[in-house]
């Protein structure tokens, strides 16, 4: 917690410069030859996330100290949560695509550890945690692979991996022929991370994590990683029809679908989880547009959601810890036993529902302004936002009113009492901030909203003003309609929940299909294992050669790289003699029935290759080749003496399939070498070694210098491998000898 508080205080010192329009940047060389740097940037967008992550992280860590008190694994939990927070901070501050991806994957790994924290519990809870953690890892990890491909394409097109430089030349990316593949790959990563439909199913299952993790993961961290990515790359990827319609349709679908799902839940954590999906869909919806209303609504609602969602999750944790259940059907009458928790829940829920004078009201008004400013389909977007907001108002009532004010629906597992101050500090502070920023919105306007909108849309565009009263206008009318519809839905919540249970239950169950996907993968793995892992060395060699030959032949054909241009005019009789020696050795190797003759003939092929090195002025390589061939012949011959003849009764051992595979592989290698020889060689590396062998390594034999100096560690590794192989062979031979006794 101390670390999180210190980071929060440090980030607060950036508010002044950033609000004045400064962009703070620091960079360290990482892999300069690849254009990769460990660079960080602080502007309005990243500072907003930095403050939310560190501030909420400090409160969650304080909360966890009491919530998990007595848990023998609390030290491990605190470590995972801190690493998760640091990974998210690195993600939102990174100014290099590759650096961002590294932190992106760190959040995936640490969230996997946090979601599966209770995996060692016996029975259903432990199994659920393991399944949920693995599901989150697989879904977001698969999206991350697509994201990495999109980042590499984007960096190659822009000529840099620095995000600030890519955004400065957004037209280059949008006008590129690779824009559509880049957009598909990047959105695949963003949608899986932020759980957009149809990748939404992993996020509610992540509720298997302890409540502090849910509060942190769902408010300001992992699930907003995809939203942050879309916002960060907004200047370079937005402004096209495919961007507009993809984000509009996916965002609106996610928002409405999640709101309906939230209303049918009886578990308070599950209800809040689906409201998170609603918020993520809404944020995606507004990122589809490039108007100042839409982006102002985006960043304002981002802050609103982070504050009330973290507060409500922590409130639910207090209720669960005190009453022993999160089932809204059982809960009731907690207001007298938990008055502080009740007040915090009411204030946070009022902001969630969008009532004045809370920040949620301003955010809701801006959402309607942003929806109506959409040039393509303002009615569709405004209608989706209206329905989602009304449903959120009803869910806010279910979460914050029913557990405290209505009679209990049954006997509670525990006698409720107020939570300790460590658990109350978080929801009280976060709920209070939602009210304070609603009364004094200028604080956010100047410090975070204005620089964020300017950074995303350009200096010529100003953010819309945040104010509680903007007069009688269409957004106000839509707000009143939201209140009326939301209260009506809440009044008929029980009947609607039963109806939604039947209606939504008929939709495809993506979570159940996930198990089918895993079962299918396991079945494919078993089939592949039976097919390939036969335990026969001959089968393994055939598989390797066939895979290599097909892959190379396909590449040569698709790249039109097949070049048959052979000129024998420069060959002398000595060259034909060496060629004949190699061909003779190869024929003997394939036709003989004696292993001894085969290995000796193979040695003849090696000697022929060594003669080629001598003919072309590489005596040192030729000597190495001769020594290796001699050693192999001797060692293998010793082993062969203990093995039976290939044909014990002299019968033919001709295998047409193996012969065809050998000819095919040889032909592919030959064509590949001809294609290489017909390609102009890049001699820059050769020139480097020629110039540096004496001046840097004080050696005149370039090959030796490369092996001993420039590739010293690599050479040492190769020697170690050879030694290990020799020791293993010796051990096997001794085992066979002892077994024979």
Candidates 380, 363, 355; CA nearest to 285 is: 380
Distance from C-alpha of 287 to C-alpha of 129, rounded to nearest angstrom: 33
Is pLDDT of 736 > 70?
A: no
pLDDT of residue 411: 79
**What's the confidence (pLDDT) of residue 398?**
86
pLDDT (0 to 100) of residue 121: 64
CA distance 345 to 327: 16
Could you read off the pLDDT of 667-691 as tens digits, one per residue?
Answer: 888 888 888 877 787 888 888 888 8
Residue 10 clears pLDDT 90, i.e. is over it: yes
Mean pLDDT of 268-286: 88
Range with top average pLDDT, 500-509, 595-604, 648-657: 595-604
In angstroms, rounded to a whole number, what is the distance separating the alpha carbons of residues 724 and 718?
10
Report helix, strand or coil for 617. coil
- Phi and psi of 122, rounded to 5°? -75, 145
pLDDT at 650 over 50: no
As a whole number of angstroms, the distance between CA 228 and CA 245 comes to 19
Neighbours of 504 (CB within 10 A): 14
Q: Which residue has the higher pLDDT, 594 or 286?
A: 286
The CA-based angle 248-480-492, given to 5 degrees, is 85
pLDDT band at 653 (very low <50, low <70, confident <90, very high): low
* Tokens of residue 267, six digits: 């578990």
Mean pLDDT value of segment 478-502: 84
Residue 498 has pLDDT above 70, yes or no: yes
Measure the CA–CA gap between 240 and 582, rounded to whole angstroms. Answer: 62
pLDDT for the residue 260: 86
**Among 119-123, 199-203, 228-232, 724-728, which stretch is predicted with the lowest mean pLDDT?**
119-123
Pick the range with the lowest mean pLDDT from 25-39, 105-119, 136-150, 552-566: 552-566
At 469, is the pLDDT very low, low, confident or very high (cuts 50, 70, 90)?
confident
Pairing mode, strands 24-31 and 36-42: antiparallel
Given a cut of 80, is residue 471 above it in pLDDT?
Answer: no
Q: What pLDDT, on a 0 to 100 scale, did the predictor assign at position 163?
A: 92
Kindly state the tokens that stand for 576: 């034909």
More confident site: 145 or 239: 145
CB-CB neighbours of 628 under 10 Å: 13
pLDDT value of position 476: 83
More confident residue, 85 or 565: 85
- Residue found by looking up tokens 């592989």 in the block: 665
Is residue 38 helix, strand or coil?
strand
The strand pairing partners of 24, in sequence order, are 42
pLDDT tier at 707, thresholds 50, 70, 90: confident
Average pLDDT of every residue of the chain: 85
Q: Which of 336-350, 642-656, 674-688 shows the lowest per-residue confidence on average (mean pLDDT)?
A: 642-656
Rounded to 10 deg, the angle between the 268-287 and 225-232 helix axes is: 10
Q: How far is Cα 72 from Cα 76, in angstroms, rounded to an integer?
A: 9
Cβ partners under 8 Å of residue 544, min gap 6: none
Closest CA to 95 of 26, 150, 41: 41
According to DSSP, residue 536 is labeled -
Does the structure show a pLDDT above 60 at 496? Answer: yes
Peptide bond before residue 427 is cis, with ω within 30 degrees of 0: no
The pLDDT value given to residue 343: 92
Question: Can you read off the two tokens belonging to residue 476?
Answer: 């106000």
Q: What's the whole-model pTM score? A: 0.79
- Residue 121 Ramachandran class (φ > 0 left, ψ -120 to 50 alpha, else beta): beta
CA distance to 162, 476, 535, 737, per residue, from 468 (Å): 39, 11, 74, 90
In the chain, pLDDT over 70 holds for what percent of residues? 94
Q: How confident is the model at residue 645 (pLDDT cuts 50, 70, 90)?
A: low
Q: Is 342 helix (H, G, I), strand (E, B) or coil?
A: helix
In this predicted structure, the answer to whether residue 297 has a pLDDT above a threshold of 50 is yes
d(CA 713, CA 464): 60
Nearest CA-CA partner of 101 in 139, 132, 135, 141 = 141
The pLDDT, as a whole number, for residue 327 is 85
Burial annotation 675-705 (CB, 10 A radius, 16+ → b, else e) = beeeeeeeeeeeeeeeeebeeebeeeebeeb
Q: Is the pLDDT of residue 418 over 80?
A: yes
The more confident residue out of 118 and 445 is 445
Burial 708-732 (b: 16+ CB within 10 A, else e): eebeeeeeeeeeeeeeeeeeeeeee
Question: What is each CA distance from 61 to 216, 338, 666, in whole angstroms?
Answer: 9, 22, 63
């Amino acid at each position: 917690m101390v670390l999180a508080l210190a980071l929060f205080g440090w980030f607060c010192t950036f508010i002044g410069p950033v609000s004045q329009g400064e962009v703070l940047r620091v960079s360290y060389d990482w892999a300069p030859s690849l254009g990769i740097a460990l660079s960080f940037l602080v502007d309005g967008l990243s500072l907003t996330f930095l403050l939310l992550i560190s501030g909420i992280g400090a409160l969650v860590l304080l909360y966890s100290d009491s919530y998990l008190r007595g848990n023998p694994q609390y030290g491990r939990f605190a470590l995972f949560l801190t690493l998760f927070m640091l990974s998210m901070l690195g993600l939102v501050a990174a100014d290099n695509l590759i650096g961002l991806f590294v932190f992106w994957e760190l959040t995936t790994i640490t969230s996997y550890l946090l979601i599966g924290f209770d995996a060692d519990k016996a029975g259903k809870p432990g199994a659920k945690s393991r399944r949920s953690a693995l599901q989150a890892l697989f879904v977001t990890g698969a999206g991350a692979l697509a994201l990495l491909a999109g980042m590499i394409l984007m960096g190659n097109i822009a000529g840099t991996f620095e995000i600030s430089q890519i955004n400065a030349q957004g037209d280059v990316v949008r006008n590129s022929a690779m824009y559509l593949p880049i957009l598909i790959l990047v959105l695949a990563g963003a949608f899986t991370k932020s759980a957009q439909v149809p990748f939404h199913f992993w996020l509610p299952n992540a509720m298997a994590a302890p409540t502090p993790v849910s509060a942190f993961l769902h408010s300001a961290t992992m699930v907003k990683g995809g939203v942050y990515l879309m916002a960060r790359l907004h200047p370079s990827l937005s402004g096209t029809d495919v961007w507009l319609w993809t984000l509009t349709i996916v965002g609106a679908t996610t928002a409405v679908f999640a709101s309906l799902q939230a209303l049918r839940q009886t578990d308070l954590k599950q209800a809040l989880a689906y409201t998170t999906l609603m918020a993520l869909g809404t944020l995606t919806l507004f990122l589809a547009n490039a108007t100042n209303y839409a982006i102002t609504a985006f960043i304002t609602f981002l802050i609103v959601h982070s504050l009330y969602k973290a507060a409500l999750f922590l409130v639910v944790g207090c209720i669960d810890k005190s009453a022993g259940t999160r089932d809204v059907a059982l809960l009731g009458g907690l207001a007298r036993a938990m008055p502080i928790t009740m007040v915090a829940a009411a204030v946070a829920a009022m902001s969630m529902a969008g009532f004045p004078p809370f920040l949620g009201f301003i955010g809701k008004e801006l959402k309607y302004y942003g929806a109506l400013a959409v040039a393509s389909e303002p009615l569709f977007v405004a209608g989706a936002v209206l329905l989602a907001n009304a449903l959120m108002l009803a869910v806010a009532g279910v979460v914050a009113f029913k557990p405290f004010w209505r009679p209990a629906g049954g006997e509670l597992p525990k006698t409720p009492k107020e939570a300790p101050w460590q658990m109350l500090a978080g929801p009280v502070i976060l709920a209070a901030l939602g009210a304070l920023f609603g009364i004094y919105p200028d604080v956010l306007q100047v410090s975070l909203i204005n620089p964020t909108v300017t950074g995303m849309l350009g200096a010529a565009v100003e953010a819309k003003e945040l104010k509680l009263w903007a007069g009688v206008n269409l957004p106000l009318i839509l707000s009143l309609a939201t209140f009326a519809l939301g209260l009506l839905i809440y009044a008929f919540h029980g009947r609607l929940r039963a109806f939604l249970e039947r209606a939504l239950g008929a939709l495809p169950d993506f979570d159940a299909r996930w198990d089918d996907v895993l079962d299918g993968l396991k079945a494919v793995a078993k089939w592949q294992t039976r097919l390939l892992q036969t335990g026969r060395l001959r089968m393994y060699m055939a598989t390797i050669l066939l895979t290599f030959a097909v892959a190379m032949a396909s590449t040569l054909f698709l790249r039109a790289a097949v070049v048959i241009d052979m000129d024998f005019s420069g060959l002398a009789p000595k060259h034909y003699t060496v060629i004949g020696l190699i061909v003779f050795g190869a024929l003997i190797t394939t036709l003989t029935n004696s292993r001894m003759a085969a290995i000796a003939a193979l040695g003849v092929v090696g000697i022929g290759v060594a003669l080629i090195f001598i003919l072309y002025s590489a005596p040192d390589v030729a000597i190495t080749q001769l020594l290796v061939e001699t050693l192999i012949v001797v060692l293998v011959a010793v082993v062969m003496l203990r093995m039976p003849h290939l044909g014990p009764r002299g019968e033919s051992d001709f295998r047409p399939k193996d012969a065809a595979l050998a000819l095919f592989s040889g032909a592919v290698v030959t064509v590949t070498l001809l294609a290489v020889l017909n390609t102009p060689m890049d001699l820059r590396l050769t020139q480097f070694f020629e110039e540096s062998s004496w001046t840097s390594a004080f050696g005149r034999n370039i090959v030796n210098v490369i092996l001993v100096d420039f590739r010293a560690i690599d050479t040492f590794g190769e020697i170690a491998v050879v030694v290990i192989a020799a020791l293993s062979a010796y051990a096997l031979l001794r085992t066979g000898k002892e077994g024979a006794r």
